[in-house]
Amino acid sequence: MGLKKIVFYESESFNPYLNLAMEEKLLDSAEPDSLYFYLWQNKNTVVIGKNQCASDECNLTLMKKDKITLARRSSGGGAVYHDLGNLNFTFIAPNKFFDKRLQLEVVQKALGEFNLKSNFSGRNDLLLDGYKISGQAYLERGEYSLHHGTLLVDVDIDALGKYLKLDEAKLKTHGVKSHKQRVKNINSFDNRVTVDSIKDALKKAVCEIYELPMVEGELINADFQKYGSREWLYRLSFRGIRLRARFDYGLIDIHMQIIKDKIENVIVNSDLMNVSLIDEIKQQLEGSLFDEELVESFTLSDEIIAADIKEMISNKLRMT
């Protein structure tokens, strides 16, 4: 059995907690014959990845002063700023029909309606003329997967530098000194592009690419208390051992305590796209002795990341 229809949802709320809860509800209640396509916007919000540390990624003091909302999503990746000049899109599909290339083609085709030719770059960026106009992130849960992203239509670019903290190592890999140098609004390439016009183009493109009919989804009630809770938004930090480095694939920032010679209370802050690797890292570390034997025994499904963490552990051991 293949996909039979596209189920379309559009949020009428600008509340990030409600919108993220709605997205998760769609993922958890998806049906095997449907592609879910969801459009949503957040008002004046910084959204961080599931495994990031809020205080490391954004200026919380200034955000509180300016009434900018902090939100944490369930997918990996880095921090982003949302306002009503940004449009978020989400694809949800059974794993056997989940196709990042095809989903991205929908976005590119929609931009093509305005004669804008975009290309995919790096881990998760969509570029126009070398400028980032969209970021993507992914999440797999059981038999279904989610792909969501941003479209910078007419965003307050100054706010990116104001509320997001600079990661100089990350910016250096892109050859720029600030967020503002790296990103650009889509409407600066063609002023016909508005949030409403790109919505229409996306809805048209998804039907054409998948060659399926679109139906309006029925109203779903989603519990958004989790997304607004302090337990979800802020992660415990403590004194102990910290291993931190940025690599081509993302940030690895590990906090852990040594209690009675064993590693306990491991927290991994990261913008890795593969969130399951975070659980692997914690499982490998917790309960182990922090010694050379850990270097020998440490393994992950991703051998490159495992090798880098082993080197981080070795370097820390040499310093202690």
Check: CB of residue 88 under 8 Å from CB of residue 41: yes
Cα-flanking dihedrals φ and ψ of residue 172, to 5°?
-60, -35
5-231 folds as BirA Bifunctional Protein; domain 2 (3.30.930)
Q: Three-state SS for 79?
A: coil
- The whole-number pLDDT of residue 124 equals 79
Give the pLDDT score at 126: 94
State the CATH architecture for 237-319: 2-Layer Sandwich (3.30)
Crossing angle of the two packed helices 195-210 and 100-112, in degrees rounded to 10: 130
pLDDT of residue 56: 87
* Residue at 94: amino acid letter: P
Measuring CA to CA, which residue among 184, 187, 41, 183 is closest to residue 114?
187
Q: Where are the domains of the chain?
A: 5-231, 237-319
Predicted local confidence at residue 105, as pLDDT? 96
Cα separation, 302 vs 190, whole angstroms: 41
Q: Is there a contact between 208 and 196 (Cβ–Cβ < 8 Å)?
A: no
Same fold yes or no, 5-231 and 237-319: no
Mean pLDDT by 10 residues, the chain (320 residues): 93 97 96 97 97 89 94 95 98 97 96 96 87 95 96 96 76 48 92 97 98 93 91 71 93 89 90 92 93 91 96 86
Q: Which of 81, 69, 54 is nearest to 269 (CA)?
A: 54
Neighbour count for residue 36 (Cβ, 10 Å)? 22
The answer to whether 71 touches 43, Cβ cutoff 8 Å, is no
Residue that is written with structure tokens 């993922």 in the block: 27
Residue 17 is encoded by which pair of tokens? 């907690």
* Torsion sign over Cα 282, 145, 26, 111: positive
99's tokens: 């196709």
Which pLDDT value is given to residue 258? 84
Whether residue 106 contacts residue 206, with contact meaning beta carbons closer than 8 Å, is answered with yes
Instruction: Name the β-bridge partners of 269.
Output: 253
